[in-house]
Amino acid sequence: MRNVLLIARRELSAYLRTMSGYIIFALMLLADGLWFNVFAVPGPGKKSADVLADFFTGSSGITLIGAVFISMRLIAEERSAGTITLLYSSPVHDWEIVIGKYLSALAFFGVFFAASLYMPVLVAVYGKVSPGHIFAGYLGLMLVASAALAIGTFGSALTRSQVLAAVTSMVMVLTLTICWLLAKVTDRPLTEIVTGFAWWGHFDPFRNGLVHLRHVIYFVLVTFISLFAATRVLEARRWR
């Protein structure tokens, strides 16, 4: 565990020492604010709860895209810079490298969510929403970030090119998104299977203030499988 925290801390401080971290953070916050003002708030006689739900819809999309860009460098950069050799030759397990990297990115998103909190608070101040709704929405966003970052970590482990890593991760995330559209044109029992894969169907209840265990399990499972795969990729690299 000490190694996980050590790697995560170094990674986080790298976000603070390089421009890319600040730029991605600022762009995400800007997009979130624009979405809130342009799409979430307007509407004649719109209910506060709907404003909040729409805010979470936009935030989830921004989170998904942001996660791909934040995670693309995690392992790919270590390989292209040769620093992965330092980790490989130190008494550190491959899973500790993967978890440490993933946690640092998750912490980054934790800060992002905290910075975006002023928008739901404004809705709560000027309208009427329950704190539980805000909590459920943010829990959902955190789970989306977790799954997307884990997929991104896996994509980043596959190649030494950050661009290629981002493209691979984006394709994986898009596939999970398109499943939702696919479900609308397929027949049963295929519909159920495809719906099961689609992240949106699992996020939808959260944005409306509902927390169901099975939806939590979906995101946790995607996270676990992706991180497990990333660890196996790192292990396999030792053979070549």
Partner 1 sequence: MIQVEGLTKYYGARAAIRDLSFSIDQGGVVGFLGLNGAGKSTTLRILGCVLLPTSGTVTIDGYDVTKNPHEIRKRIGLLPDTPPVYDEMTVGDYLAFVAQLRGVSGTQVTARVKEVEKTCFLEDRHGDPISSLSHGYRQRVGVAQALVHKPRLLILDEPTGGLDPVQIVEMRELIRRLKGEATVLVSSHILTEISQICDRYLVLHEGAMIADGSESVLANKLGGADSVEIDIVGGVDKAVTASQAVATVTEVTVWPSGAVHTLRITASSDVRASVVKALVSAGVDVVRVDKVQGRLENIFLKLTHGKETV
Binding interface with partner 1 (CB under 8 A): 2-3, 6-7, 10, 13-14, 17-18, 81-93, 238-240
CB 108, min distance to partner 1, A: 15
Nearer to partner 1, 46 or 93 (CB): 93
- Residue 45 CB, nearest approach to partner 1 (Å): 51
Angle between helices 162-185 and 48-71 (to 10 degrees): 140
d(CA 69, CA 86) in angstroms, rounded, equals 24
Q: How far apart are the first and last CA of the chain?
A: 28
**By the 8 A CB rule, do 173 and 68 touch?**
yes
What's the CA gap between 25 and 97, in Å, rounded?
24
- Of 68, 85, 84, nearest to 175 by C-alpha is 68
Q: Which residue, 45 or 82, is less far from partner 1 as judged by CB?
A: 82
Q: How far is the CB of 34 from partner 1 (least distance, A)?
A: 30
Asked if residues 77 and 153 have their Cβ atoms less than 8 Å apart, the reply is no
Amino acid letter for position 2 = R
For partner 1, which is the closer residue by CB, 85 or 130?
Answer: 85
Contact between 120 and 134 (Cβ < 8 Å) = yes
What is the nearest approach in angstroms of partner 1 to the Cβ of residue 105?
A: 16
Q: 6 vs 211, which CB is nearer to partner 1?
A: 6
The CB-of-8 to partner 1 minimum distance in angstroms stands at: 12
